[in-house]
Chain A
Amino acid sequence: MQELQDSNPNAALAMKCTVQKDKLADAVNRVMKAISSKTTIPILTGVKITSGRDGITLTGSNSDISIQTFIPLEEDGNENAVVHTPGQIVLPSRLFSELVRKLQDEDVHIEVDSRFIAKITSGATEFSLNGLDPEEYPNLPIINGSDAFRIRKDLLKDMIKQTVYAVSVTETRPVLTGVKWMINDGKLSCVATDSHRLAQRSVSVENGEDSGTHTLVIPGSSLNELSKILDDDDEQLVDIIMTTNQILFKSNNVQFYSRLLDGNYPDTSRLIPTESKTTIDLGTKDLYRAIERASLLAKEERNNVVKLRAEGNQVEISSQSLELGRVFETLVPEHFEGDPLRISFSAKFMMDALGKLDAQSVRIHFVGPMRPIIIRPIGDENILMLILPIRTF
């Protein structure tokens, strides 16, 4: 890669590097996902570029989440970048990402002087951008590697999918807009509730024994963003590190940081009944579709309620709309145990829960018409979904 002449004799050189355009464009693209033009913190409109001894790091943040990508100097025997002078700069993100995409040459040279003016050259094109003081950029937590535990990427995605849907969307109890994560004795348990329903899942993690007991609450919106940026390389492991202020997910050369919610998460174990008066096993898809059909009428009504009647080894799903009529459907359970029962619940909540389960069949526990309904996939004791019934009479 070619060397550049220092062109500004008046200002000291603050950073100088050369990067492969495609690598840079990829990295910028990724960190842009964390950058918002609506931020109230001016420096966060920029992307931070740090040239270090091992490679080049890009950071983007909206303060709630931060994404960092690392371009190693060398990868699989190929040269990605050369750092001539280590240093850092914050550049206007939208402009920078656009210009990087439109550059023609394979290499991009970035040269920054002490007045934060960045000269970006590629082929015959030269841009001069006014950067911002990198000292103004927020600190990301300093990570102590020993606290990390690891989890397979596909499992992480499942855990997020199976819990985050149940977080509260109203701000009345802000802590409920997050998912509680607890690591204890090599096991990670996640729980979310909006106080009408609850979802929880636990999983064994690697290295978890050493990480002690930690509890924290991650904003649901952050987890949704994380899911989006995790690529499909499912078997890969993700390192997870919990700090007081933030949680870090690290996979390959991408690091995802999320802030945490403050406040005490309620003790959800008391919500979950331990006994069962009626237990029914049903095919997950059969039940889902029956409720979906019943909800065709039910959703015309205000609260989208369907009724379930279990009696004599039969399950009847029904709903009615005063204007439109009624619908009945009978299902034959794979297994039925306990008392006959009539119960009403939100079709949406039941479908949300069933839709997140991969198991062929589910086991549903009822305690009574006004007590929580527990749904568990058959074959996986680590997943539990709960919904509260609705009083309809």
Chain B
Amino acid sequence: MDWQQLSKEQQTVAKVLRHAIDRKELAHAYLLEGPAGTGKHETAMLVTQTLFCEQPTDLGPCLTCRNCRRIASGNHPDVIWVAPEEGAASIKKEQIAYLMKEFAYRGVESGRKVFIIEQAEKMTAQAENSLLKFIEEPHSGTLALLITEQIHQLLDTIISRCQVLAFVPLSDHAISRRMDEQGLPKPLLKPAVALTHDYEEAVRLCKEEWFAEARSQVLQLLKGLCESLEAAQLYIYEKFAPNFDDNQKMTVGLDLMLYWYRDLLSLHLNRREEIVYEDQMDRLKEQMLSFSSNQAVQAMSLILDARKQLDAHVNGVSVMERLVIRLGGTR
């Protein structure tokens, strides 16, 4: 993450922080607040590395100097990260004691110290009160970055002493880009994001074997449908039904089908950036030749009807059967 990317994803946050850093007017405490996957941790890292970097540029820290590297590896003695241990209900007492000690001590190497508290809502009220004292009487050169997804679980007194930076949910586009950086399988990214509009959920889906299987089965079904109705029906009985064995899964299946027709429509309208099945571009283009935008719209409305039936608890397999027959009619 550099400042340019942060500006794209979190314009207000980037503006406030960059401005404060450039003018050397950082507040003593910031509260980075917002949903998971919106870049709070990365922003804390970016700010810290920018402050300590030996050769920062306008874009951000160099990431190669000793300070940048040590901040990333957790070895910089003047950068104090505190996060609850995995699965722990709260930040431990010893962790808070360590934090308090570090607040009281001067830096090891420099006059600057950065404190980063992740999942700050997991501090006990007692810990929050001790922290409050330090936020109220900060030593010069100290910066505290509190990170939370649950701002309402923090004491009002803490919130009021911090400058609150609200992270907004990312656009689908930004979520996919970020997932791409994580090295998740490309063909799954966009369908997962289209389904969830949420970074964490999308990442979870991408890591599920079932989802990869579901996607390829839907594509297989659609391919069968292009060839013959019978082939498609057979495919439903043999492969599709056993895998989409409850209505929730069937809903995902329907949505994945919907994206196919929406992609055809996007192609007709020349909105390439909205295409979900990017890796299937050749097939989409081929089908587009024989499939008008009206037909695409019609197919989409059939799928939406099928979704309504599913919501009304009609059996998933029969919904799909009926849908495939009707879709066969739009060919």
Q: Which of B72-103 contact A (CB under 8 A)?
A: 73-77, 80-81, 97-98, 100-101, 103
Whether the pair B109, A245 counts as a contact (CB closer than 8 A) is yes
Known contacts: A135-B66, A171-B100, A263-B139. The answer to whether A245 contacts B73 by CB under 8 A is no
Which residue of B101, B104, B107, B130 is within 8 Å of A175 (Cβ)? B104
Whether the pair B108, A261 counts as a contact (CB closer than 8 A) is no
Q: Which residues of A contact B76 (CB under 8 A)?
A: 138
Q: Which residue of A lies closest to B140 (CB)?
A: A262
Whether the pair A262, B104 counts as a contact (CB closer than 8 A) is yes
* Min distance, Cβ B123 to any Cβ of chain A, angstroms: 16
Q: Which residues of B contact A337 (CB under 8 A)?
A: none
Which residue of B69, B97, B108, B130 is within 8 Å of A136 (Cβ)? B69
Known contacts: A42-B75, A174-B103, A262-B139. The answer to whether A245 contacts B108 by CB under 8 A is yes
Which residue of A42, A138, A174, A244 is within 8 Å of B104 (Cβ)? A174
* Min distance, Cβ A84 to any Cβ of chain B, angstroms: 26
Q: Which residue of A lies closest to B80 (CB)?
A: A40
Q: Does B70 interact with chain A (Cβ within 8 Å)?
A: yes
Q: Which residue of A lies closest to B70 (CB)?
A: A136
Known contacts: A42-B73, A136-B73, A138-B77. The answer to whether A245 contacts B107 by CB under 8 A is yes
Which residue of A40, A138, A141, A219 is within 8 Å of B105 (Cβ)? A219
Q: Which residues of B contact A177 (CB under 8 A)?
A: 104
Is chain A's binding surface mostly helix, strand, loop or mixed?
Answer: loop
> A115-158 toward B: CB 8 Å interface, digit per residue (1/0)?
00000000000000000000111110100000000000000000
> CA separation between A63 and B98, bound complex, in Å?
12
Whether the pair A64, B75 counts as a contact (CB closer than 8 A) is no
> A161-191 toward B: CB 8 Å interface, digit per residue (1/0)?
0000000000100110100000000000000
> CA separation between A40 and B110, bound complex, in Å?
19
Q: Does B106 interact with chain A (Cβ within 8 Å)?
A: yes
> CA separation between A219 and B104, bound complex, in Å?
10
Q: In the complex, how many residue pairs between chain A and chain B have their CB atoms under 8 Å apart?
A: 67
> CA separation between A139 and B101, bound complex, in Å?
20
Q: Which residues of B contact A263 (CB under 8 A)?
A: 104, 139
Q: Which residues of A contact B185 (CB under 8 A)?
A: none
* Min distance, Cβ B134 to any Cβ of chain A, angstroms: 9
* Min distance, Cβ A45 to any Cβ of chain B, angstroms: 11
Which residue of B80, B105, B111 is within 8 Å of A244 (Cβ)? B111
Q: Which residue of B lies closest to A259 (CB)?
A: B105
Q: Which residues of B contact A31 (CB under 8 A)?
A: none
Whether the pair B103, A245 counts as a contact (CB closer than 8 A) is no
Q: Which residues of A contact B107 (CB under 8 A)?
A: 245
Q: Which residues of B contact A291 (CB under 8 A)?
A: none
* Min distance, Cβ B88 to any Cβ of chain A, angstroms: 15
Q: Which residue of B lies closest to A244 (CB)?
A: B111
> A250-293 toward B: CB 8 Å interface, digit per residue (1/0)?
00000000011111000000000000000000000000000000
Binding site for A on B (CB under 8 A): 66, 69-70, 73-77, 80-81, 97-98, 100-101, 103-111, 130, 139
Please give 10 more A-B residue pairs, beta carbons under 8 A apart, in addition to A138-B76, A262-B106. Answer: A41-B74, A135-B66, A135-B70, A136-B69, A136-B70, A136-B75, A138-B109, A245-B106, A246-B108, A263-B104
